[in-house]
DNA sequence: AGCACTTCCTGATAGC
DNA sequence: TGCTATCAGGAAGTGC
């Protein structure tokens, strides 16, 4: 599922291909994905050039000539495909098609239709999409170790759902949450208030490491994720925890366990990631 | 505030 | 082979 590294991988190839391109035609086959109605998209997007593409957490932000913004969120199975020479004409589950002034097409493919688009004035779209509520990016200048520790102190409860909470930190999903907790040797059901400073510090560095590695490997492809050229990422070959239930821990050899935390499948090593009841420091 | 549960959606997989 | 049930999960909504 697309998390920060997958969305960033898409952003990089899209920005290269779409910068200064004008959208000349829009064809939407699944209107429910387009918040505010299809006509709002035609009105704000037709004959506009794309100036820049930013990313905030798992959201992409397309900045347009008319100072409006187009925002997309892939949720579970969404992604864009750059249809340069008709090579993706036969792809299934295309929910929208944006024709560009150089003859290329930007396709939005999404099996489960969970993805969402917003368009309009920047302030309104940032609010409606939920982008304003996002927490820091893992690589934000302002998210120093000290700031991360301070943010953790504001919360109580189980650590894994907090990592998945986009208001706490933006961009982490189920894959990178399991990976970061494994690297930091923290049990996914540990309570934040029971973690000591050493563990919290390890978690900070683990988050940066797994996200950086995910981007470097152009994303994790499990199921359907591909980049805008329909190419798979390679980070699935480097995962140490996610979906490795009943497999040997790559650090200690113990059998990895699969449990459910926050309604999500969660894999951890019972030997490396012990559940502590109370902080020792 | 935290946490569980439900909803959306459809391909993949398991069981018979 | 073919049917049916279950699972996967990001994020919003509901309710305690």
A264 catalytic residue (yes or no): yes
pLDDT at A1: 81
As a whole number, mean pLDDT of residues A31-46 equals 96
Distance A268 CA to C16 C1' (A): 30
pLDDT at A127: 94
Mean pLDDT computed over every residue of chain A: 93
Residue A120, pLDDT above cutoff 70: yes
Residues in Cβ contact with A198 at an 8 Å cutoff, skipping those fewer than 6 apart:
A281
pLDDT at A279: 54
pLDDT digits (tens, 9 = 90+) for A152-194: 999 999 999 999 999 999 999 999 999 999 999 999 999 999 9
As to burial, measured by CB atoms within 10 angstroms (0-12 exposed, 13-18 middle, 19+ buried), residue A151 is: middle
CB of A38 closer than 8 Å to CB of A28: yes
pLDDT at A281: 52
Lowest mean pLDDT among A197-201, A213-217, A228-232: A228-232
For residues A181 and A281, the model is more confident at: A181
A85 catalytic residue (yes or no): no
Report the protein residue whose CA lies nearest the C1' of nucleotide B5: A263
Angle between helices A197-216 and A145-153 (to 10 degrees): 120
Distance A140 CA to B1 C1' (A): 26
Q: Which residues pair with A53 in a beta bridge?
A: A62
Residues in reach of strand B, judged by a CB distance below 7 angstroms, are A 32, 76, 93, 111-114, 154-158, 161-162, 191, 262-263
Half-sphere exposure of A42 (CA within 13 A, CB side): 8
CA distance readout (Å), A182 to A106, A256, A276? 37, 11, 15
**Which nucleotide across the nucleic acid strands is nearest to A57, CA versus C1'?**
C10
Structure tokens given for A171: 């961009």
């Amino acid at each position: 599922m697309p998390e920060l590294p997958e969305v960033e991988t898409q952003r990089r190839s899209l920005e290269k291909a779409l910068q200064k391109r004008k959208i000349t035609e829009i064809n939407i086959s699944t209107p429910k994905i387009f918040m505010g109605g299809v006509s709002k998209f035609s009105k704000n997007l037709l004959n506009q050039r794309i100036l820049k593409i930013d990313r905030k957490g798992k959201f992409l932000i397309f900045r347009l000539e008319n100072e409006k913004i187009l925002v997309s969120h892939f949720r579970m199975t969404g992604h864009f495909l750059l249809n340069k020479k008709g090579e993706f004409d036969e792809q299934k589950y295309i929910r929208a098609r944006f024709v560009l002034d150089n003859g290329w097409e930007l396709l939005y493919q999404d099996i489960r239709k969970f993805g969402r688009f917003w368009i309009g004035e920047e302030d309104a779209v940032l609010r409606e999409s939920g982008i304003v509520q996002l927490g820091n990016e893992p690589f934000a200048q302002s998210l120093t170790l000290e700031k991360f520790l301070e943010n953790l102190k504001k919360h109580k409860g189980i650590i894994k759902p907090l990592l998945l909470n986009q208001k706490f930190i933006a961009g982490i999903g189920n894959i990178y949450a399991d990976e970061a907790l494994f690297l930091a040797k923290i049990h996914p059901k540990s309570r934040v208030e029971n973690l000591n400073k050493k563990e919290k510090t390890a978690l900070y560095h683990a988050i940066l490491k797994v996200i950086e590695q995910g981007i470097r490997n152009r994303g994790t492809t499990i199921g359907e994720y591909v980049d805008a050229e329909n190419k798979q990422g390679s980070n699935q070959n480097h995962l140490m925890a996610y979906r490795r239930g009943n497999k040997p821990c790559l650090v200690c050899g113990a059998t990895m366990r699969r449990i459910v935390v926050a309604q999500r499948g969660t894999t951890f090593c019972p030997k490396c990631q012990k559940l502590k009841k109370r902080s020792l420091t």
